[in-house]
Amino acid sequence: MQTAKIKTEHFDIAVIGGGAAGMLAAICASEGGKKVALIEKNNSLGKKLLLTGNGRCNLTQANFSKSDFIGKLGKNGRFLFSALAAFGPHETMDFFEDLGIRLKTEKDGRVFPASNKARDVLDVLEKALKRNKVKIMLGRNVIGLEMKDGKIDYINVVETQLIASPHCNASLRKEKIQAANFILSTGGKSYPATGSTGDGYSWLAAIGHTLVSTAPALVPVRTKETWVKDLQGISLADAGIYLVRNNRRINLGIGEIIFTHFGISGPAIINASKFIGEHLGDDKVFLELDLLPALDISELEKKFKTDLDRHKKKDLKNYLGEYFPQKLAEKIMELAGIEKDRKIHSVTRAERTDLIRLMKNLRLTVASLLDFNQAMVTRGGASLKEVDPQTMRSKIVKNLFLAGEVLDLDGPTGGYNLQIAWTTGHASGQSAAENFDKHPE
Ligand SMILES: Cc1cc2nc3c(=O)[nH]c(=O)nc-3n(C[C@H](O)[C@H](O)[C@H](O)COP(=O)(O)OP(=O)(O)OC[C@H]3O[C@@H](n4cnc5c(N)ncnc54)[C@H](O)[C@@H]3O)c2cc1C
């Protein structure tokens, strides 16, 4: 039987992974006319980008200085100092506006396209890739790297079935892609249905890179209490969140929470999830929700007593409904063991104390964080010690650059994670092109 010859294509720079980081890297790498390929396993680019910001794409964060921005990324943030100085939130906004998209800045510095459409962000990126004549190779699953003399020689690619024609055996067709420099931007492991299945990690480990163990980050919390499902969809714009472990109560801040069928979510919980994850162990861990953080307990007790004395004939559930969505008000009564139809005048002192306790310290037992299927980002990844912070070049393999979530970098919600992708995409693309000029072989 004759074996088909494997086709080899040659490029100056090959970018593996067509997400936010890979697209920006390919645009920057091709600005000076380099022959660049962008290789993506899906049959379209930016599948995850389209989901960002609930389809609106919170593409960066405008409210902070660069040093504040770095502080928000935790201990690894300092790695980005020089790359952010070259291409930070303001340069990113200029970049997108120059590509023809109007932006708007919302509450807390979150920047969105004025159209509220992530699709528009993807469209301008695709236009820029075409303008720079980047070869966009869709439906190509990279399955491994081949090394020669300490450098990546080529990558092995298999055409995925998604774009295979029913008339040919393209689903099994193999290719080699050879390039002087490679940019690895395969993302993390979160939302694997978008193509981010952590493929880059095993290749990096095989060529000698250290991996910081990965975990889901920016993720909702599953609780042991199943009654939360009765409140599914109910949100509170401002709730105080505390973590309780071994009788220690830690303040995790105030923000929006949403009850779900499995537990609790919303921006404030998602941002707190990194901290919650770090505290999960053998001991029981609780969340305590302060549903009325603007009032301290003594103020609430006073107000409550005066109000109850004043409106004796009112239904308790209607009175509580002035503070909370009705379903939540009724749940608080149920948890306090108070029947739905009770009038205010029948509430005992003990019951009043109980209601206040539930409003100020609604306790939920953390069962687990949700997994990578629901996590917005991946914590951990390629160790930053082995990557040059200015160029994103690997310190282990000379012709390899890394960009985006594959790196051990992650931030809170609010545009930080896409900014990491743009900043590292920019640095890696520019330096891969410069490296090619210096070492074209
Ligand atoms: C639901 C959701 C909402 C979000 N909202 C926001 C937001 O509003 N603002 C914000 O800042 N961040 C947001 N994020 C996080 C942000 O989307 C990511 O941090 C960012 O997309 C990471 O970009 P990346 O290019 O590094 O990786 P990805 O976007 O994951 O791209 C990696 C690409 O590589 C491809 N790939 C992987 N393996 C291979 C292979 N073997 N061969 C070929 N191609 C491969 C994948 O198919 C994928 O297209 C959100 C995340 C999620 C899941």
Tell which phi-psi region holds residue 296, choosing left (phi > 0), alpha (psi between -120 and 50) or beta: beta
Q: How far is the CA of 43 from the centre of ligand 1 (A)?
A: 15
Question: Beta-carbon neighbour count of residue 226 at 10 Å?
Answer: 11
Distance (Å) from CA 373 to ligand 1 centroid: 13
Q: Which ligand 1 atom is the nearest neighbour of the CA of 54?
A: 3
Read off the amino acid at residue 440: P
- Which residue has a Cα nearest atom 46 of ligand 1? 195
Identify the pLDDT of residue 282: 72
User: Hey, which of 120, 160, 177, 376 would you mutate to test ligand 1's pocket, going by the most ligand atoms within 8 Å of its Cβ?
Assistant: 376
Q: Whose CA is nearest to atom 52 of ligand 1?
A: 376
Looking at per-residue pLDDT, the higher value among 409 and 173 belongs to 409
164 pLDDT exceeds 50?
Answer: no
Please state the rounded mean pLDDT for residues 75-85: 95
Q: Is the dihedral of CA 298, 302, 303, 304 positive or negative?
A: positive
Cα dihedral value 162, 163, 165, 168, nearest 10: -80
Lining ligand 1 with CB less than 6 A are: 16-22, 39-42, 47-49, 51-53, 57-58, 141-142, 185-187, 190-191, 195-196, 199, 376-377, 404-405, 415-418, 421
Q: Are 351 and 334 in contact (CB under 8 A)?
A: no
Distance 19 CA to ligand 1 centre (A): 5
Side-by-side strand order, sheet with 103-105: 60-61, 110-113, 103-105
Domain spans in the chain, listed from the N-terminal domain onward:
7-217+377-438, 220-370
Can you give the pLDDT at residue 437?
73
Confidence of residue 163 (pLDDT cuts 50, 70, 90): very low
**Can you give the pLDDT at residue 66?**
84
Shortest-distance Cα residue to atom 13 of ligand 1? 52
Residue 131 Cα to ligand 1 midpoint, Å, equals 23
Ligand 1 atom, smallest distance to 190 CA? 53
Residue 66 CA to ligand 1 centre (angstroms): 23
Which CATH architecture is the domain 220-370 placed in?
Orthogonal Bundle (1.10)
For residue 370, what are its two tokens?
A: 């949700």
CA of 405 to the centre of ligand 1 (A): 7
pLDDT for residue 172 is more than 80: no
pLDDT band at 198 (very low <50, low <70, confident <90, very high): very high
Specify the residue with its C-alpha closest to ligand 1, atom 37.
186
The tokens for 380 are 């951990």
242-292 pLDDT, tens digit per residue, is 999 988 999 999 999 999 999 999 999 999 998 898 888 777 899 999 999
Question: Which residue, 376, 396, 377, is CA-closest to 387?
Answer: 396
What's residue 4's pLDDT?
Answer: 63
Ligand 1, atom 6: closest residue by C-alpha: 52
CA 88 / ligand 1 centre spacing (Å): 19
How far is residue 287's CA from residue 366's CA, in Å, rounded to a whole number? 7
Tell me how far the alpha carbon of residue 48 lies from the centroid of ligand 1, in angstroms: 5
| Residue with CA closest to ligand 1 atom 31 | 19
pLDDT in tens, 44-75: 999 999 999 999 999 999 987 888 899 999 89
CATH superfamily of 7-217+377-438: FAD/NAD(P)-binding domain (3.50.50.60)
Counting every residue, how long is the chain? Answer: 441
Angle in degrees, 0-180, between the axes of helices 20-30 and 416-438, rounded to the nearest 10:
30
The pairing of beta strand 36-39 with beta strand 211-217: unpaired
Ligand 1 pocket test, pick from 16, 49, 52 with the greatest ligand atom count within 8 Å of Cβ, gives 52
Q: Which residue has the higher pLDDT, 187 or 63?
A: 187
CB 395 within 8 A of CB 388: yes
Nearest-CA residue for ligand 1 atom 47 is 195
For the CA of 46, the nearest atom of ligand 1: 49
Q: Residue 380 Cα, ligand 1 centroid: separation in angstroms?
A: 15
| Residues of the chain above pLDDT 90, percent | 84
User: What spacing in Å lies between the alpha carbon of 307 and ligand 1's midpoint?
Assistant: 51
Distance CA 48, CA 313 (A): 54
Distance CA 298, CA 257 (A): 24
Q: Determine which residue's CA is closest to atom 26 belonging to ligand 1.
A: 404
- Ligand 1 centroid – CA 184 distance (Å): 13
Give the tens place of pLDDT for each residue, 393-429.
999 999 999 999 999 999 999 999 999 999 999 999 9
Q: How far is the CA of 18 from the centre of ligand 1 (A)?
A: 9
- 52 C-alpha to ligand 1 centroid (Å): 9
48 secondary structure, DSSP code:
T
Q: Which of 196, 203, 204, 401 to mutate to test the pocket of ligand 1 (most atoms within 8 A of CB)?
A: 196
